[in-house]
Structure 1
Amino acid sequence: MIIQISWKNVWRNRTRSLIIMIAILLGIFGGMFLLAFMQGMTEQRLSSALKTEVSHIQIHSEKYLENNDFNQYMTDISAIDEYLSTDKRVQGYSTRIIIYSLAKTSEMGAGVRITGVDPENEINVTDLNTKIIDGSYFENTRGMPIVIGEKLAKKLKAKVRKKIVLQVQDTSGKTFPSAFRVAGIYKTTNTAFDEMNVFVRNKDLRELTGFNENNAHEIAIYLNNRENVTAVENDLESIFPAFTVESWSEGNAILAYMSEAMDQYLIIFILIILFALFFGIANTMLMAILERRKELGMLMAIGMKRFKVFRMIMYETIFLSLVGAMLGIIIAFLTITYFAKNGLNLSIWSEGLEAIGYDPIVYFQLDTSYLLQIVVMVIITGILASILPAIKALKLNPADALRIDN
């Protein structure tokens, strides 16, 4: 009975009830919209970085990471190669030779990171072959091919089939210039990566540097499931203790921090919205109590127990919160579904976003667990917001309330 009365009371002053419901709707919609936007942007950045820049796991020699010294390489990697080729958790792996050096054209020069790869294996680890915007991925090129980023190509004024001279170091420490021909130009969502990284074939670098086929500076590993990273890392560390095994979170602290901190930031943001809604709901219900003092006093005068009055006010507040929240969740869900499929185009800020590694088209993403959390938090907010107005109603003196002149 109290529940039915409370529901009818909500609609006695439609304007006031609709205003507070719309406020709750907008708050929940805004919170979920931002949640999905930020989660989608974060996941896109992480997925892009893992597939293009860092991979899930990397293996190096024990001292290589101290200063990226060319002579600190792994020897006798055949055992690792054999192990990874039989591990079903591994989607692909790539052995690499890495040289930090200088790239020059007749126009300009720039510092670069030269990565020697096996193109056939590399496509199972990175998606660089899908990022080619001009030319090809190590194909249809005479001589020694090189793939460079669009940002670097503009800086060096290099074009497909044009020559680039790299300063290469051999195993004896001697450096010398070597001419490569641009096979393709790639473009990722990270212009800093594009400007710094060039890719050549492993076999070309081995011939130039005298690097043994069984040696490598780095082995990059991409797994079928990101959830297996810790398990695979632990297995590799126990089987190959002579090498340094790092997961993506250990090798890239910024990505790890971004991934771990984002959920916390989003929850804090939702709590701030609910905190604001708390005061809005409480204020509205206090106004309603003041307007209905005579009515509430009459109910208590004819025998309604104070606890039932308390419950009635609480139910009214919860109804206001739930209706507004559910409408907000439904509208937000439809909006998020649309942007999850079509993406939100932020191309007008593409230059700034790509400078920090973000795609200008953001595809929204929201874990379903967040929906349940938001509903629970809204209910709790409604209950807490109803306590003060309900206590105010309990303090009414029926005799005094009946004397109020409406």
Structure 2
Amino acid sequence: MLLKIAWRNIWRSPVRSWIIIAALTVGMFAGVFTSTFINGWMTQRLQDGVETETGHLQIFRDGYQSSRELSLHFKKGDLKGLKNQPEIQATSRRLIVQAMAASAETARGVRVFGADPEAEAKVLNLHKEVEEGTWFDSPYSRQVVIGRKLADQLQIGIRSRLVLRFQDVDGTLTGGAFRVVGIYKTNNTAFDGTHVWVRNTDLGELLNVSPQDFHSMVVRLNNSDEAMSMAKTLEKQFPDSDVLPWKELSPELGYLTELGNTYLYIFVVIILLALGFGIVNTMLMVVLERVREIGMLMSVGMARWRVFFMIVLETVMLSSTGGLIGIFLGMLTVWQLGKSGIDLSVWSTGLTEMGFNPIVYPEWDAALVINIALMVVAAGILASLYPAWKALKLNPSEAVRVI
């Protein structure tokens, strides 16, 4: 009965009700759209970072990460049994060295990775980002794959000669000439400008180590969410190793995820607070306009708690109607934009410097939408308490005399 009365009371002033519903619709649409936009943006950056740059896990010799000593490398037979773990999908061995990359025009400091191209393609998708040339599919003896930014800085292209100079494990200055066979381009230009890839056999020969030796073992898991727990398991299995999940290899990626989720809810709460004050003001006006009516209801025997819940129901129904319409329209828009994406190419230079894809695909999840819907209902309840309390305080004998 109260529900029916509350619904009728809402439409006694349709213009005012539609204004509140429209405000809530716009606010919730903005909240859902912005939340899913940020969620999609952060998810894309996280996926690009893990799948292209770090991998799910990397295993180093204990102490290597802090010292970068070339002598701290694994030998053939180390990490035995690693591939037998059911959670592990693929692995790739890497030799790593800081080097100077020089062309005929200029030089740049880079990080050189020596890996087996086929194994590397199983743990990362960098081979899919090659936009010119190939991923080590060339007849040249010493091949190198570099990023587009580095190629532009060194003013070189496919089949150009690139000289890499560095120290070997004994500290002797060494190096060699390589032929550029591929140029890749990711959404992170900083990565493209500093990461160079060669075969582990070529780099091992120059470093004076066996091609079977490696500084890092990159691990791809069946489920990336298990990276933290798997890292602890592997550290127990290989006590002389340092196992780092992607959150520790690239702390900014984990920070982005946590920060993004926090900002989503802060943004929605701010919207609901702003709308909540408008709802309080509107419902307070409704109560003051209906003082005589509410006094009559109390005089004929309606319990005060029924009057209280009638006002609460009116507010919750009003806010829920506008909120749910806004959420629905937001989800509809996100569903459409999730296919086509939002083109931010006009800011592509700045975005790619930070590792973000200029084409953003909004992404929503059920938990986010349900939480926003519950927050709308909660905001309606909170906004109704003061107007309902004012109605509760009315004296029936005085209220019926109000003209």
Q: TM-score, normalised by structure 2?
A: 0.96
Q: Distance in 1 between matches of 2:308 and 2:301?
A: 14
| Corresponding position: 1:228 with 2:193 | no
1:67-86 correspondence to structure 2 within 5 Å: 67-76=67-76, 78-80=77-79, 82-86=80-84
Aligned equivalent of 2:18: 18
Give the secondary structure class of the aligned counterpart of 2:301: coil
Aligned equivalent of 1:170: 168
Shift, 1:399, TM fit: 3.7
Deviation string 1:353-404 (CA, Å, 9 cap, x unpaired) is 1000111111122220122212222111111111111111122233433333
- Is 1:141–1:161's contact at 8 Å kept on the other side of the alignment? no
1:352-391 correspondence to structure 2 within 5 Å: 352-391=350-389
- Is 1:97–1:205's contact at 8 Å kept on the other side of the alignment? yes
Give the secondary structure class of the aligned counterpart of 2:230: helix
Give the secondary structure class of the aligned counterpart of 1:124: helix
Give the secondary structure class of the aligned counterpart of 1:92: strand
Q: CA RMSD in A?
A: 1.5
Aligned equivalent of 1:52: 52
Structure 1 stretches of 4+ with a deviation exceeding 6 A read none
Q: Distance in 2 between matches of 1:68 and 1:109?
A: 22
For 1:371, the aligned partner's letter is V
Q: TM-score, normalised by structure 1?
A: 0.95
Distance 1:203 1:310, change over 3 A: same
The unaligned stretches of length 5 or more in structure 2 are none
Moved more, 145-154 or 386-395: 386-395
Shift, 1:141, TM fit: 4.1
1:294-305 correspondence to structure 2 within 5 Å: 294-305=292-303
For 1:309, the aligned partner's letter is V
For 2:234, the aligned partner's letter is L
Q: Distance in 2 between matches of 1:301 and 1:244?
A: 77
- Is 1:7–1:316's contact at 8 Å kept on the other side of the alignment? yes
Shift, 1:34, TM fit: 1.4
1:35-50 correspondence to structure 2 within 5 Å: 35-50=35-50
1:246-261 correspondence to structure 2 within 5 Å: 246-261=244-259
1:84-99 correspondence to structure 2 within 5 Å: 84-99=82-97
Aligned equivalent of 1:28: 28
- Is 1:57–1:222's contact at 8 Å kept on the other side of the alignment? yes
Aligned equivalent of 2:150: 152
Q: Distance in 2 between matches of 1:261 and 1:351?
A: 23
Aligned match of 1:394 in 371, 376, 392?
Answer: 392
1:221-300 correspondence to structure 2 within 5 Å: 221-300=219-298
Q: Distance in 2 between matches of 1:371 and 1:334?
A: 12
Q: Distance in 2 between matches of 1:165 and 1:79?
A: 32
1:194-209 correspondence to structure 2 within 5 Å: 194-209=192-207
Q: Distance in 2 between matches of 1:48 and 1:354?
A: 12
Give the secondary structure class of the aligned counterpart of 1:180: strand
The unaligned stretches of length 5 or more in structure 1 are none
Moved more, 304-313 or 345-354: 304-313
Percent identity of paired positions between Structure 1 and Structure 2: 42
- Is 2:59–2:241's contact at 8 Å kept on the other side of the alignment? yes
| Corresponding position: 1:219 with 2:203 | no
User: Across the two proteins, how many residue pairs are aligned to each other?
Assistant: 403
